[in-house]
Amino acid sequence: MKKTIMWKEINEQKTAIPNCISKNKEILKQISKNFNEKKPTSIIIAARGTSDHVAHFAKYLFETHCGIPVSLAAPSITTLYQAKINFSNSLVIGISQSGSAQDVLEVLQSAKSQGAITIGITNTEDSVVAKESQYHLFCNAGKENSVAATKTFLTQLYLATALVKEISGSKQLDIAINNLDNTIEKALSLCQSAIEASQTFRFSNEIFVLARGFGYPISMECALKIQETTYTRARCYSVSDFHHGPFAMVSSEIPIILLSLDKRVEKDSLEMIEKLKNENAFILSITNSKKVSDLSDKSILLPEDMDEISACFASAIIGQTFACSLAILKSNNPDSPRGLKKVTITR
């Protein structure tokens, strides 16, 4: 595993984040000034795949810290159905690692033509998304060669967090950002635990990945990483949704990965664990809760005083490592999954 490009790029995140931070300080201030002058009443985010999981995370951030409703764009409304969406009093964000996503671009262009504030978040400075946006937030993560996104995901996650912090003035987000170096070091120190945990899943053909709150977008990304590198049918659900129809699929043959990263969702997590145990399901938890850890069959325990935003960053790295290790155990190449390319163009 440690000879793969994916593993190399997982470890490059400890330098990618500082590079991203230093590159975007001034532009974040400019965006915040414009935002607070125009006071948009809604936020729309267009993205696909891994970037869409960042969009979900940004939705939680904006709505929690700014109190502004966020919608995740359905780009086909613009590109295929050619409907005229009113973006005039909105902040519209397009997230694309390559910056070449045509559908994201067309949403941004429509919004820009109506006078909306537009932001492109990419890892390519000269991309069309970067050029067409009013503001460009640059991941500055360096070239990412593995098909599975790692450092571009984490830098996008940082940019979403930093953007909301700058606009809202949130002290909580400021503390989490200032502590990111320590968070990443702690996550990397737990990677061996993720490697060991993956061995339990070696012969699994299906996995459920569960979370709630801020951890939910991270669980979506963990499931995607498992899907694309191991070819395992990993399905992500919100803990609250899983209580409904999906719970009927639970059996002792399908292991569960549970992310419980926030004291506010601890009670829900504990209730779900008890319910899963009644069905003899195997549970691996990634958590900063000793209670959740103790009730799980296996756990990767983050520091209990780690806040939920920091825990999300740490869990993303742990999830990437788990997927990379599981891919190798299943004799797959995580750097070049079958049927996938690094850049996917959709319209």
Residue spans per domain, the chain: 5-178, 184-329
For residues 343 and 100, is the Cβ–Cβ distance under 8 A?
yes
Q: Indicate whether 342 pLDDT > 80.
A: no
The pLDDT value recorded for residue 340 is 63
**83 vs 306, higher pLDDT:** 306
Strands 283-287 and 298-301: parallel
For residues 141 and 20, is the Cβ–Cβ distance under 8 A?
yes
Compute the CA torsion angle 230, 235, 238, 241 (nearest 10 deg): -170
Using pLDDT thresholds of 50, 70 and 90, give the confidence band for residue 345.
low
State the alpha helices, DSSP H only, in 231-307.
239-242, 266-277, 290-295
The pLDDT value recorded for residue 336 is 86
Q: Indicate whether 41 pLDDT > 80.
A: yes
In this prediction, residues 69-82 reach a mean pLDDT of 89
Predicted model pTM: 0.95
Q: Indicate whether 132 pLDDT > 80.
A: yes
The pLDDT value recorded for residue 244 is 87
The pLDDT value recorded for residue 343 is 57
Give domain 184-329's CATH superfamily. Glucose-6-phosphate isomerase like protein; domain 1 (3.40.50.10490)
Q: Indicate whether 284 pLDDT > 80.
A: yes
Number of H helices, E strands in the chain: 15, 10
pLDDT tens string 234-278: 999 999 999 988 999 999 999 999 999 999 999 999 999 999 999
The pLDDT value recorded for residue 81 is 87
Whole-number average pLDDT of the chain:
95
High-pLDDT (> 70) share of the chain, %: 97
Using pLDDT thresholds of 50, 70 and 90, give the confidence band for residue 221.
very high
Three-state DSSP class for residue 334: coil
In this prediction, residues 207-215 reach a mean pLDDT of 98
Of 225, 246, 52, the C-alpha closest to 150 is: 225
Pick the CATH number of 5-178 from 3.40.50.10490, 3.40.50.300, 3.30.1050.10, 2.40.30.10: 3.40.50.10490
Helix (H) or strand (E) holding 208: strand 206-211
**Domain pair 5-178 / 184-329, same fold:** yes
**339 vs 51, higher pLDDT:** 51
Q: Indicate whether 80 pLDDT > 70.
A: yes
Helix (H) or strand (E) holding 32: helix 13-38
In this prediction, residues 77-96 reach a mean pLDDT of 91
The pLDDT value recorded for residue 54 is 98
In this prediction, residues 24-43 reach a mean pLDDT of 97
The pLDDT value recorded for residue 97 is 93
For residues 264 and 213, is the Cβ–Cβ distance under 8 A?
yes
Of 158, 149, 99, the C-alpha closest to 129 is: 99
pLDDT tens string 178-198: 999 999 999 999 999 999 999
